[in-house]
């Protein structure tokens, strides 16, 4: 569990969207990570993470696709169910996958209802601003908490063409600020800002009353999110400037597997104590 000297919210038994709002008001940074399975989610929750995102990055890190586009609603629900089973304290947010909410608010509502009903998650996250507002409104009208996602929105990678930093030009920066206000006004409980200039993220965080969570958006936001497999050093190919690696698990795992192979081949394993 998290130590009380680093969090005023250590004793909170369940993180809700209201707790996140309180964290913003009390200047406590929100710690968010992705998880896609029971075992990892359990470790994150026990360590005291505030928010777990069942991200559609599962498409990349769990399924090996080159983008987030292929993952399906059924697959996201499978990951979400596994995560929710593990969680006692963290707020669980589930990404709505590509093609389940864009351009059709009725389908958006049906998709969000399936996620909430079948997984027991606490909220959904969707990418975009003005263009998806009707879907946001309809999902919110059913009482489902919605988190926005602006800046680099990986589901639009074929429109952007690259994963470079977004909103460096004034026109795109202005649209991002406008979109953040629209999402707040619509009733979103928070917004993820991905890979945008730190100064712009600071401006949005100052103007918007709901929590702003950054990934590659600098320190002047209300919290941070990273993809678990990146911060643990399981993925190796992906190393943007914003990523801090807390471990080099890819080497450790491969080292352990090599030791196991050696022990099996040399009949060092199992030994006398490891048999019946
Ligand atoms: O899917 C994901 O992991 C995300 C984070 C990068 C915010 O959306």
Where residue 2 falls among pLDDT bands split at 50, 70, 90? confident
| Ligand 1 contact, 215 CB (< 6 A) | yes
Residue with the smallest CA separation from ligand 1 atom 4 is 55
- At 246, list the tokens: 């807390």
Query: Tell me: the pLDDT tens digits for 89-132?
Result: 999 999 999 999 999 999 999 999 999 999 999 999 999 999 99
Class of domain 17-245: alpha beta
- At 244, list the tokens: 């801090």
The residue with tokens 């993220």 is: 201
111 C-alpha to center of ligand 1: Å? 18
| Ligand 1 contact, 55 CB (< 6 A) | yes
How distant, in Å, are the alpha carbons of 191, 233, 245 from that of 147? Answer: 5, 27, 26
- At 92, list the tokens: 């669980």
34 C-alpha to center of ligand 1: Å? 7
Q: What is the pLDDT at residue 237? A: 86
Between vectors from CA 64 to CA 60 and to CA 69, what angle results, nearest 5°? 50
Per the rule left: phi > 0, alpha: psi between -120 and 50, beta: everything else, 224 is beta
Q: What is the pLDDT at residue 275? A: 98
CA separation for the pair 108, 37 (Å, rounded): 24
CA separation for the pair 218, 244 (Å, rounded): 12
CA separation for the pair 222, 207 (Å, rounded): 12
| Ligand 1 contact, 56 CB (< 6 A) | yes
Q: What is the pLDDT at residue 79? A: 98
- At 72, list the tokens: 């399906």
Q: What is the pLDDT at residue 170? A: 98
pLDDT value at 250 more than 80: yes
Catalytic sites, residue numbers = 194
Q: What is the pLDDT at residue 86? A: 98
Once rounded to an integer, what is the mean pLDDT over residues 155-174? 95
Peptide bond into 251 cis (omega under 30): no
DSSP single-letter state for residue 154: G
Q: What is the pLDDT at residue 58? A: 98
pLDDT value at 223 more than 80: yes
pLDDT value at 149 more than 90: yes
Q: What is the pLDDT at residue 5? A: 85
Once rounded to an integer, what is the mean pLDDT over residues 185-203? 98
Once rounded to an integer, what is the mean pLDDT over residues 185-189? 98
Question: Which H or E element spans position 70?
Answer: none
| Ligand 1 contact, 50 CB (< 6 A) | no
207 C-alpha to center of ligand 1: Å? 23
pLDDT value at 263 more than 90: yes
Average predicted confidence (pLDDT) for the chain: 97
Termini Cα distance of the chain: 37
Question: In a 3-state reduction of DSSP, which class is residue 31?
Answer: strand
CA separation for the pair 197, 165 (Å, rounded): 7
Q: What is the pLDDT at residue 4? A: 76
- Ligand 1: residue of 55, 93, 163, 240 to mutate (most ligand atoms within 8 A of CB) is 55
Query: Tell me: the pLDDT tens digits for 37-91?
Result: 999 999 999 999 999 999 999 999 999 999 999 999 999 999 999 999 999 999 9
pLDDT value at 1 more than 80: no
In sequence order, the 6+-apart residues with CB closer than 8 A to the CB of 69 are 59, 98, 99, 155, 157, 158
- Ligand 1: residue of 57, 96, 150 to mutate (most ligand atoms within 8 A of CB) is 57
- At 45, list the tokens: 């929750």
Once rounded to an integer, what is the mean pLDDT over residues 143-153? 98
| Ligand 1 contact, 235 CB (< 6 A) | no
CA separation for the pair 10, 198 (Å, rounded): 28
Q: What are phi and psi of 220, to 5 degrees?
A: -90, 50
| Ligand 1 contact, 59 CB (< 6 A) | no
Q: What is this structure's pTM?
A: 0.97
Residue with the smallest CA separation from ligand 1 atom 2 is 55
């Amino acid at each position: 569990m998290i130590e009380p000297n680093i969090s005023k919210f250590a004793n909170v038994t369940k993180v809700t969207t209201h707790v996140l709002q309180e964290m913003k008001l009390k200047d406590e940074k929100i710690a968010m990570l992705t998880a896609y399975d029971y075992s990892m989610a359990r470790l994150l929750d026990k360590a005291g993470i505030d928010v777990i995102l069942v991200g559609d990055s599962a498409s990349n890190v769990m399924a090996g696709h080159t983008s987030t586009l292929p993952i399906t609603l059924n697959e996201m629900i499978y990951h979400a169910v596994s995560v929710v089973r593990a969680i006692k304290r963290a707020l669980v947010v589930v990404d709505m996958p590509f093609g389940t909410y864009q351009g059709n608010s009725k389908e958006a509502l049906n998709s969000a209802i399936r996620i909430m009903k079948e997984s027991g998650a606490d909220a959904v996250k969707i990418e975009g601003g003005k263009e998806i507002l009707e879907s946001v409104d309809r999902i919110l009208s059913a009482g489902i908490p919605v988190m926005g996602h602006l800046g680099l929105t990986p589901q639009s990678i074929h429109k952007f063409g690259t994963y470079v930093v977004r909103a460096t030009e004034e026109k795109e920066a202005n649209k991002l600020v406008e979109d953040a206000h629209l999402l707040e006004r619509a009733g979103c409980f928070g917004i993820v800002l991905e890979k945008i200039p730190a100064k712009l993220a600071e401006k949005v965080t100052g103007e918007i009353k709901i929590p702003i969570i950054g990934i590659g958006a600098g320190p002047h936001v209300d919290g941070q999110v990273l993809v678990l497999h990146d911060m643990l050093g399981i993925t190796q190919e992906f190393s943007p400037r914003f990523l801090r690696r807390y471990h080099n698990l890819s080497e450790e795992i491969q080292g352990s597997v090599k030791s196991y192979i050696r022990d099996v081949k040399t009949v060092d394993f199992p030994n006398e104590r490891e048999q019946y």
